[in-house]
């Protein structure tokens, strides 16, 4: 009887060894490339209705009038310049709105860097008349700030607020006034991973 039991144990042990042998399987690996980030203007940057007067003399040391629209939509500064013979002024008459740029289509909870140009650009009268003075959009302010990170939500979306500073022209011939009408220009904002 002892011989039979030994054979049975040996057979059972050999079967257990065969059951724990190696197995190789092939599995898939995937990656989704999402290079596109959409940036759209949902609220245009608008300095609203303004009264603009350029001083007729040379710069009196204080510079031309400037007016700054904060990313909150409020104005800062006096809008007055210190010019030799006539005080230049930029006065808000209402209707100003900070710009809102919407980031969409990015990765959820991603962090993107906001970059804005610092190059001044002239706001040109809608008539395109080169004899008319220009208003210069000479500084852009964003929230998040230039070169700062914007952390996106679970949908990969987020907003950038835009404001800036405008300055009355510095080379206006005596007697040349600002024409009523719309003055437009451009600015650049970039977002990247």
pLDDT tens for each residue of 81-132: 654 445 667 888 889 999 999 999 998 999 999 999 878 888 888 998 887 8
The yes-or-no verdict on residue 16 having pLDDT over 80 is no
Q: What pLDDT band is residue 170 in, cutting at 50, 70 and 90?
A: low
Could you tell me what percent of the chain has a pLDDT over 90?
A: 41
The yes-or-no verdict on residue 3 having pLDDT over 50 is no
Peptide bond into 144 cis (omega under 30): yes
Average pLDDT over residues 135-151: 93
The yes-or-no verdict on residue 39 having pLDDT over 70 is yes
Residue 130: the pLDDT is 82
- Which pTM does this prediction carry? 0.75
Characterize 37-56 residue by residue with b for buried, 16 or more Cβ atoms within 10 angstroms of its Cβ, and e for exposed: bebeeeeebebeebebbbbb
Average pLDDT over residues 133-158: 92
Q: How far is CA 102 from CA 38, 105, 106, 134, in A?
A: 8, 10, 11, 29
What's the CA gap between 106 and 100, in Å, rounded?
Answer: 17
Average pLDDT over residues 163-171: 77
Residue 67: the pLDDT is 86
Higher-confidence residue: 191 or 83?
191
């Amino acid at each position: 009887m002892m011989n039979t039991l030994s054979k049975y144990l040996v057979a059972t042990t050999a079967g257990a060894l065969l059951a724990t042998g190696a197995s190789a399987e092939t599995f898939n690996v995937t990656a989704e490339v999402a290079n596109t980030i959409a940036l759209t203007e949902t609220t245009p940057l608008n300095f609203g209705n303004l009264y603009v007067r350029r001083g007729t003399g040379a710069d009196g040391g204080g510079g031309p009038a400037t007016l700054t629209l904060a990313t909150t939509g409020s104005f800062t500064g006096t809008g007055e310049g210190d010019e030799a013979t006539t005080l230049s002024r930029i006065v808000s008459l209402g209707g100003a709105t900070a710009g809102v740029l919407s980031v969409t289509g990015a990765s959820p909870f991603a962090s993107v860097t906001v970059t804005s140009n610092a190059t001044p650009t002239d706001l040109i009268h809608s008539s395109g008349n080169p004899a008319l003075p220009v208003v210069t959009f000479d500084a852009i302010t964003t929230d998040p700030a230039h070169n700062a990170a914007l952390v996106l939500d679970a949908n990969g979306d987020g907003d950038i607020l835009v404001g800036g500073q405008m300055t009355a022209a510095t080379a206006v011939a005596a007697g040349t006034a600002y024409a009523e009408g719309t003055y437009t220009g451009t600015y650049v904002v970039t977002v990247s991973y």
